[in-house]
Structure 1
């Protein structure tokens, strides 16, 4: 089960299906059950020393200082926790279960503690490695993960905890399973630094809501600093309710439903610094929105009925209450612009990231004039108008770009309108100090270069293209004007070359840019610089031996 030397698994990212952690075969032919794995974590006698076979041999990685090894372990743990779980609405709970089993076939940090005795000693003596607790529903039960997290807690000593609860199944399992989950959340809540409750059940929020009602009242004021609540369940809201505040059908449990006073709930949520809400929200007057450095206000479009909204003056009050805000993601409808234009914009001198992805285009005219970013470099994401020949920059966006130091700009087109990128407008009206430019769902098909455009973007080094139709010759003309050093592509549709064979297009483009990568992940462009992003190999020529061999192996499974 354990190696006597430190090693790296060359097949760890092959993409093949992994074994079921509840019934996995080890190299020696034995079967490991969850309770056995937990006992293995707790037992000090499950591994041989690294130098058992050759006392003089020390693996090169073990010559690194302990603090460097710990950084490597943290990186491995980060990658493991960032692994995507199948969770789209069309995915069945069975697909979710397979993804979870695949994730748990090589769990972290347990797998690291099984490599060699030196690693095991470091990992078991480092409390901060064990503070991350994950609870998933697997076959309508989270018992396996409750047992795993319960084994972690003694090793955390007095460290604050991070709890991530992710639900996918409807609540039709045994009541005892739900009770066990709520009991665990309740017992860990006083030590939580971060709480994430994530609901992907298609039509059920009962368990999701009950977990919030259980955990949030038990949290310790000042200890809970990060609260992420995401409800992706389908929503049908009545249009008959009183909805002056815009949250009818979208509210988080009240203090009364949580079984505590409003004063007690306010004391818990007031110190929070990072608040990500999607699908359920605190009242707009809640102190949860005060003193934040990160705020997400997002929603999934309901099956029918109205969407949540916030009045313009309420949003302005929220922004004024968080002068040190660094990250703002919002796609809510914002109403009531009357009188706002007469008020000065809110100074946000620390703002570093603004995303309007998914926001109705008409709301820009209300939201953007409210914001007065400082001089810090800003990442800005927005979508074009819903029209065939939409300008790249509408007046509200153009005005915002004039008063903000935007160095990373992500522009998302409207695919259903077949929008083309106006390269002339891009080159003449974009911020001059751009360093990263991302383009999504825009066709890059026509361009007539002008002499005065050649010196426009002296700092632009990264260009990201996602799901764009690209005329290769036009794109090459554009690249000649941009000092791009890194080009990343995801599902480009090359035109102007033989259909179905992208090799020539890739070769021509790669000859112009030092680094060209094809992104495998479907993550948003804004996340393409993160560690966990995976890349594809360059496409093989259609008739090359390697291409044929790969296709044969693909057919054979």
Structure 2
């Protein structure tokens, strides 16, 4: 049927082209002639207007029929027939732009095709400020009602300064979040302190406030097996806290949860996405097992993570796809075999020197999988990649390399020259002096860039 339509369409296109050429020729003739004779003769063509309208209507009907057949074909699926797992991913992309776009797109979609999919409404943002706004509160209630009994993706932001006097979280926020805890599948918890106060009394207050926040989610009422992703952002403080229970060894920096240690392990073990900033469970916890994504960030403050512990963590997650390390490691001076992470897709490092970077990369065996690697580091201009870095790039398949916060503009070029597999090198910062551009051109000719694309 498709070939028949194509054949007829070709003939129709030729006929319409001839019809159009003739019509335009008549128009030109009518414009050029000024005598009454030709004009009266062309008036007889007015009957063709009805024919043209009929042709247009037939083509319109054909277009509608073809559109219907196209939407019914397996290659083009109407939105209400798409898999239920696809639509949430599609609409969640609007969250990267604006929450307003998310609302408008979701409601317009639901209003136009008249179907209800609870998974479209499972992402909910809650802050104490939103709960004080009637329209925002109504929106949250709408999301909850439309999500049905689906598991939720909850993003909660707390404000420490508003409640520093009692070191407790906002009662309205606590009341709003409490009923949702058994349904939380993905949790992001932001605790912004907004100022780096080094006063010991204030440090204790921050610690107790952080404990109050975590206790709201990690407690005996939480259901093991529900939580799949955990993200904790603890910002605006120089402190690094450890998550323990009352049954475990007491530490000065511990956030001691009032719950059995085994129950905490049962809550954290099913987690496959773990993003932690300045707040970590014990490094031997089951939370570091069977992960798909692991991000540990402490902004280079001292953290009790030793190389041997990191090796165990990585070996416990052989299917790891995303790894970000922004934490100071206590490295060993002995040779150790690298950990096989052949499913790794994204690697983000925050080493402060080529030496630190090399000692970290020597622990990783990424196999032949293509990797998008981002390096954040203020490397000194005189540093050179050591043998660990050279060996990593020679045996890994780094296809995209992004360099951020480099003091020396040319260091990324040196890294690219180590790997023939790099195809793209995003450069976020540009040189500021005219002479720098000349030097860059020289570097481009010195290094092997045959298949590499530079983007800014």
| Same fold by TM-score greater than 0.5 | yes
| Distance in 2 of aligned mates of 1:422 and 1:152 | 45
Aligned residue number for residue 143 of structure 2? 152
Rate the CA distance shift 1:136–1:82 in 2: closer, same or farther, 3 A. Answer: farther
Number of matched pairs: 364
Alpha-carbon distance in structure 2 between the residues aligned to 1:360 and 1:219? 42
* Higher Cα radius of gyration: 2
Between 272-281 and 351-360, report the one with greater CA deviation: 351-360
Would you say the 8 A contact 1:347–1:373 is kept in 2?
A: yes
Give, in whole Å, the separation in 2 of the partners of 1:437 and 1:419.
Answer: 13
Higher helix share: 2
Q: Say whether 1:374 aligns with 2:367.
A: yes
Contact 1:421/1:442, CA 8 A, preserved across alignment? no
Partner in structure 2 of residue 276 of structure 1: 275
Distance of aligned partners of 1:328 and 1:73 in 2 relative to their CA distance in 1, 3 Å threshold:
closer
Q: Which residue of 1 aligns with 2:223?
A: 220
Q: 1:210 to 1:431 in 2, by over 3 A?
A: same
What secondary structure does 1:434 align onto? coil
Return the offset for 1:446: 11
Aligned position for 1:16? none
Q: Deviations over 1:117-174 (max 9, x none)?
A: 425x23xx11111111111343895886555323322222231111011235623389
* 5+ residue gaps, structure 1: 1-57, 84-102, 238-248, 448-468, 490-557
Is 1:196 the counterpart of 2:195? The answer is no
In 2, Cα distance between equivalents of 1:143 and 1:180: 13
2:410 to 420, 425, 444: 420
Once the two structures are superposed, what CA deviation does each residue of 1:491-536 show, in whole Å capped at 9, x if it has no partner?
xxxxxxxxxxxxxxxxxxxxxxxxxxxxxxxxxxxxxxxxxxxxxx
1:293 counterpart residue number: 292
Between the aligned partners of 1:389 and 1:345, the Cα distance in structure 2 is 28
2:419 equivalent in structure 1: 431
Indicate the SS of the match to 1:199.
strand
Equivalence map 1:86-485=2 (5 Å): 106=100, 108-109=102-103, 112-114=106-108, 117-119=111-113, 121-122=114-115, 125-138=116-129, 145=136, 147-168=138-159, 170-172=161-163, 178-203=170-195, 204=206, 207-217=209-219, 218-235=221-238, 237=239, 249-252=240-243, 254=245, 257-300=256-299, 307-339=302-334, 341=335, 343-357=336-350, 359=352, 361-383=354-376, 386-391=379-384, 393-412=385-404, 414-415=406-407, 418-421=408-411, 425=414, 429-441=417-429, 443=431, 470-471=437-438, 474=441, 482=449
Structure 1 residue 282: Cα displacement: 0.6
Q: How high is the TM-score relative to the length of structure 1?
A: 0.56
In structure 2, list runs of 5 or more residues that go unmatched: 1-63, 72-76, 196-205, 248-255
Distance of 2:82 and 2:133 partners within structure 1: 34
Displacement, 1:215?
A: 1.1
Native 8 Å contact 2:425 2:453 kept in 1: no
Cα distance in 2 for partners of 1:221, 1:255 equals 19
Normalising by structure 2, what TM-score?
0.68
Does the C-alpha gap of structure 1 residues 199 and 323 become closer, same or farther in structure 2, counting only changes over 3 Å? same
Answer whether contact 1:135 1:142 (CA < 8 A) is retained: no
Q: Once structures 1 and 2 are overlaid, which stretch shifts more, 404-413 or 142-151?
A: 142-151
How far apart are the structure 2 equivalents of 1:144 and 1:253?
A: 39
